[in-house]
Amino acid sequence: KSGEGRAKAERMFGLMDGFLKNDPVSLQKDILDHVEYTVARSRFNFDDFEAYQALSHSVRDRLIERWHDTQQYFKRKDPKRLYFLSLEFLMGRSLSNSVINLGIRDQCADALNQLGFEFEVVAEQEGDAALGNGGLARLSACQMDSLATLDFPAIGYGLRYQYGLFRQVILDGFQHEQPDYWLNFGNPWEIERVHVSYAVKFYGTVEEEFLNGEKCKVWVPGEMVEAVAYDNPIPGYGTRNTINLRLWAAKPSGQYDMESYNTGDYINEVINRQRAETISTVLYPDDRSYQGKELRLKQQYFFVSASLQDIIRRFKEAHNNFDDFPEKVALQLNDTHPSLAIAEVMRVLVDEERLGWNRAWDIVCTIFSFTTHTVLPEGLEKIPVDLLGSLLPRHLQIIYEINSIFMDELKKRIGLDYNRLSRMSIVEEGAIKNIRMANLSLVCCHTVNGVSRVHSELLKTRVFKDFYELWPQKFQYKTNGVTQRRWIVVSNPSLCALISKWLGTEAWIRDADLLTGLREYAADAILQQEWKMVRKVNKMRLAEYIEAMSGVKVSADAMFDVQIKRIHEYKRQLLNLLGIIHRYDCIKNMEKSNRRKVVPRVCIIGGKAAPGYEIAKKIIKLCHAVAEKINNDSDVGDLLKLVFFPDYNVSVAELVIPGSDLSQHISTAGHEASGTGSMKLLMNGCLLLATADGSTVEIIEEIGEDNMFLFGAKLHEVSALRDKGPATKVPLQFARVVRMVREGYFGFKDYFKSLCDTLEGGGDFYLLGNDFGSYLEAQAAADKAFVDEEKWTQMSILCTASSGRFSSDRTIEEYAEKTWGIEPCKCPF
């Protein structure tokens, strides 16, 4: 373009102000229009849910406007883009988050008010988008918020499951799973793109053909499924930038198999075609075991293939030489779930674009980066060769070829060390041959990131030691973070206002490091008073919810002690429960007059167990059995209450976190790759009771050991303790509380037997017995600190003040600079 032309276009972008106005009157008109024309209700008669729908559509219109401008701007600037591939995104609700990021929260509340509605009530109508399991999936959601806010040219890709994570229903204390058919009331936060669709191929054979005298492979598929795009706009905060989360849904392919249309079996043909939709039907509810299921593999390839077709189409619109690809494209693999993308890019470049193997390989090696979220070698994904060969025959060949070249090079580097060669091979030999997706990713990605410093050390010294010794330069880490927009501004508005008042600015909402400014007021009596008030009101709100949900009345003066996360043996909810039993036992056995000295506690546990995870389900049952006993014991009264929060999800977290005094992050050292719940609680001024595991180690560095309650075996002690066998220093109290469970004090004796067996008789892999003594000491220290309100409040303020480092903005900035090589591309206002 000429200089003049560019200047004109620049001016045009400068004028790109919102077309829709954001004052309450304009918003109100839009809401009423949507009531009439979108929801098709009378504007004289609509309820809270319909108000939610109409408001959401009004907000969506504003999102679309910005989304268009942003896409247009990116297209014109053509920066290097980040493509974030993840099979899981745990977005939760969108309304409150959107209006806050768009800066129209108060205007919307005003508009609704005049119509006789209350914003909070209307926002409560929204269900959660739960297209993910746990930490990994919520991390993706936080990172999308940061990518948008920091103006990075990024697109998220994933799957649009019709059924999100199951709903947890508790009957008689047992977990039952119910399908989460979340789209039945419509979803205003997505835009269906019927014209953005791609054919995805499966099965079939690989044939050899000669093209222009050259021998080449051609994949002749046996099945085709159509991937249709659903776009979910992700608004940044304090910027016009609104990026895209593109989720794919499976539809029957439009490309008919003419043969079968002549067989006369019309009905069966239609039914078979319809089956294609199952690919994107349901999210796998187990967050870390891979059972070689064909449907899961189909999901992975489906989303990878559609995303890459989309990415390559976009690249080709502006470029005709694939050598420019690495300058325009960064592909981020969120865990190994999208790792088939590596083989898919090779296939497209070699078989379809005919670049030749070496040129294609050079490109592949510069575009992919990989983040792993796990510590355990068992947690790493493996795909049976037979399964892969039948579903994706050409990809299997490509992976074999990559491996063969890698093995040859490796032999040159390390000699014939067959043990090491077989450990590093992408192909695992054995009774069942497997493809190791992590090894594939390690070989082909330029970078492998851990999610905390300790995690990265474990990757280097244990999990991927062989690879680290070969390619130390590939190993990096980016400590996880969470977005303060969702976790303070949306979920704790009164704390948000208090922080802004004392800092004299709202700038911390985009720059969390500014929170350190609170440190100098931590001892200020007025701030402390206001801080306490805010927290008290949040606790009262939580107490009301507890009563409504479980019928248990709790006092907001008690210490609210929470453990909210997926149920896993390594996360040790069982340690927490045994501690609660011990506390109960002590209260029962103490002189009545001494009960006055007990610090009242409300213990809250929430989380889902994978449907096939027996032990985790027993832990949930034990929690209910113990709660039943304690909550109905008049000796105990308000001194101790235990509540299980059913169906823990993002919106429950938004309610619980602001009202928590103490939270537990008590995994056996060396097991939690990072942990992110701790960061959300820390930001909200909740004190931590924790082991030195995952990101907690870095949290300690920020807040200091004095401002938290630390306990338990350290990482370097764990393997020695295990080698020593049954813990030698198991305290008497531990044996006693386990015996209470074993002997049926809480009922269900036979059912809990196997749970107790995991702890005794030489088991106790997670070292509950070993850590029990120091756990009780840490709990006692927490009690003691809670009594000194001034001190506690000061610690609470210091937690928030020290949480800035754990903003996902910091994580994303590090990724952008050190891993992806992308720059902000800010759409002008």
DSSP state letter for 42? B
Residues 809 and 571: their CA atoms lie apart, in Å, by 27
Residues 46 and 37: their CA atoms lie apart, in Å, by 13
Contact (Cβ atoms closer than 8 angstroms) between residue 689 and residue 663 = yes
Contact (Cβ atoms closer than 8 angstroms) between residue 220 and residue 167 = no
Q: Note if 676 is an active site residue.
A: yes
Q: Which of 347, 373, 617, 621 is catalytic?
A: 373
**Alpha helix locations (H) across 198-348?**
258-261, 266-274, 294-318, 325-328, 340-347
Nearest to 143 by CA among 810, 650, 826: 810
Residues 85 and 445: their CA atoms lie apart, in Å, by 14
DSSP 50-119: HHHHHHHHHHHHHHHHHHHHHHHHHHHH---EEEEE-S-EEEE--HHHHHHHHT-HHHHHHHHHHTT--H
Q: Which of 81, 382, 539, 565 is catalytic?
A: 565
Q: Note if 680 is an active site residue.
A: yes
Between 143 and 244, name the residue whose CB sits nearer to ligand C3B.
143
Match 């990075």 to its residue by tokens.
Answer: 152
At closest approach, how far in Å is the CB of 296 from ligand C3B? 13
Nearest to 550 by CA among 605, 596, 468: 605
At closest approach, how far in Å is the CB of 573 from ligand C3B? 14
DSSP state letter for 448? E
Between strands 163-171 and 174-181, the pairing is antiparallel
Backbone angles phi, psi at 748, to 5 degrees: 50, 40
Residues 735 and 772: their CA atoms lie apart, in Å, by 10
Q: What distance lies between CA 621 and its chain's CA centroid?
A: 26
At closest approach, how far in Å is the CB of 280 from ligand C3B? 19
Q: Which residues bind ligand C3B (CB under 6 A)?
A: 133-136, 139, 287-288, 373-374, 451, 480, 672-676, 694
Token readout for 436 is 């190791």
Question: Which residue lies nearest ligand C3B, judged by its C-beta?
Answer: 135
Q: Note if 149 is an active site residue.
A: no
Q: Note if 373 is an active site residue.
A: yes
DSSP state letter for 45? B
Contact (Cβ atoms closer than 8 angstroms) between residue 699 and residue 717 = no
Backbone angles phi, psi at 142, to 5 degrees: -60, -40
At closest approach, how far in Å is the CB of 86 from ligand C3B? 11
Between 132 and 233, name the residue whose CB sits nearer to ligand C3B.
132
Residues 829 and 827: their CA atoms lie apart, in Å, by 7
- Name residue 83's beta-bridge partners: 155, 331
Q: Which residues of 191-321 form beta strands (DSSP E)?
A: 191-202, 205-211, 214-220, 223-235, 242-252
Q: What distance lies between CA 559 and its chain's CA centroid?
A: 28
Q: Which residues of 614-724 form beta strands (DSSP E)?
A: 640-645, 662-665, 687-691, 709-711
325: number of Cβ within 10 Å: 21
Token readout for 800 is 């928030």
Q: Which of 395, 571, 601, 805 is catalytic?
A: 571
Q: Which of 676, 696, 800, 819 is catalytic?
A: 676
Between 282 and 673, name the residue whose CB sits nearer to ligand C3B.
673
Match 């493809």 to its residue by tokens.
Answer: 435
At closest approach, how far in Å is the CB of 482 from ligand C3B? 10
Contact (Cβ atoms closer than 8 angstroms) between residue 660 and residue 487 = no
Contact (Cβ atoms closer than 8 angstroms) between residue 652 and residue 645 = yes
Token readout for 770 is 């070993």
Between 244 and 374, name the residue whose CB sits nearer to ligand C3B.
374
Residues 195 and 310: their CA atoms lie apart, in Å, by 12
Between strands 242-252 and 223-235, the pairing is antiparallel
Between 88 and 190, name the residue whose CB sits nearer to ligand C3B.
88
- Name residue 614's beta-bridge partners: none
Nearest to 766 by CA among 568, 525, 631: 568
Q: Which residues of 627-696 form beta strands (DSSP E)?
A: 640-645, 662-665, 687-691
Contact (Cβ atoms closer than 8 angstroms) between residue 539 and residue 555 = no
Residues 197 and 306: their CA atoms lie apart, in Å, by 8
Residues 142 and 153: their CA atoms lie apart, in Å, by 16
Residues 347 and 394: their CA atoms lie apart, in Å, by 8
Between 290 and 368, name the residue whose CB sits nearer to ligand C3B.
290
Token readout for 544 is 């009301």
Residues classed as catalytic: 373, 565-566, 571, 676, 680
